[in-house]
Each structure stands twice: as structure tokens, then as C-alpha cells.
Amino acid sequence: MAGSQQDPSAPHPGEVAELGAPTFFVSSFNLSATSNEVVLVGNELFPTWGGEGAAQPPVLRPRLVIRLSPQSAKDLADVLQNFVANYEQAYGELRTDYLLRKERGAIWRAFSGADD
């Protein structure tokens, strides 16, 4: 269901846990698509350390795969956009590393003429 209203027939999150639906923490996403399917992979980021305690590049491990139609992906995008807008209105702007990198890339392209 698109929009900010929750479907009244949908189970409460506590009820979902009681049904045995697994819960996963994910910290990043990968997305791929064809003309009739969208595949969203949720990854968990694990820090790693070398033998002498030096930090190594983190490891991403896929935790879940969600397959949906492009139409359902559009509905999900709308629901998430509404959620984030309401959250930010209540608690302030969310800033993420991804959005900062995206913003810097757009600024760099604007000054470098890469879009020409």
C-alpha cells in the first residue's frame, strides 16, 4: 500500500516476530533490475582487523534478498519517501555517508563538465 497510511489489515511488527518471520539488520543495499523484476540485496557490514590489530577494509555479507515487481518497487519507494519526510519533520534531517558521497559527486560533475 503506497502512502503514509498503514494497511489496517497488516500485522503489527510485534505480531510478525511472533509468526517466526526472520529479522535482519542491514547497513547497505545493492540493487539490480530487469524490465519485470527488481532484486534488492541487503548487506551487513563487518569490520575486520589484521594480525597485528590494524584495521582492514570491512567485509559486506549479504543478509537478505527481496525480489519484487517494478510496480511494487515504486510503491515501496513512495512509502519510504513518506516515512523519511515524516521522520525528518519530527527529528531533523538525516545525513548519511551515501548521500554525502552522492552530493560530492554531483558537485564534482558540475564543476568538471563531466555531464557535458
How do residues 41-66 score in pLDDT, each as one tens digit? 999 988 888 778 888 888 999 999 99
- Per-residue pLDDT at 3 exceeds 50: no
Contact 84, 94 (CB under 8 A): yes
- Dist. CA 115–CA 105, nearest whole Å: 11
What are the phi and psi torsion angles at 38 (to 5°)?
-120, 130
Q: In the sheet where 28-33 sits, what is the strand order?
A: 28-33, 38-49, 55-68
Residues 103 and 89 in one domain: yes
Residues 57 and 90 in one domain: no
- Dist. CA 74–CA 54, nearest whole Å: 43
pTM of the model: 0.69
Q: Domain containing 105: what range?
A: 71-116
Cell reading at 86? 515524516
- At 1 the pLDDT is 45
Mean per-residue pLDDT of the chain: 85
What are the phi and psi torsion angles at 22 (to 5°)?
-70, 150
Residues 110 and 82 in one domain: yes
- Dist. CA 24–CA 29, nearest whole Å: 13
Position 45 in a domain: yes
Residues 87 and 51 in one domain: no
Mind listing the pLDDT tens digit for each residue in 86-112?
A: 999 999 999 988 888 888 886 666 666
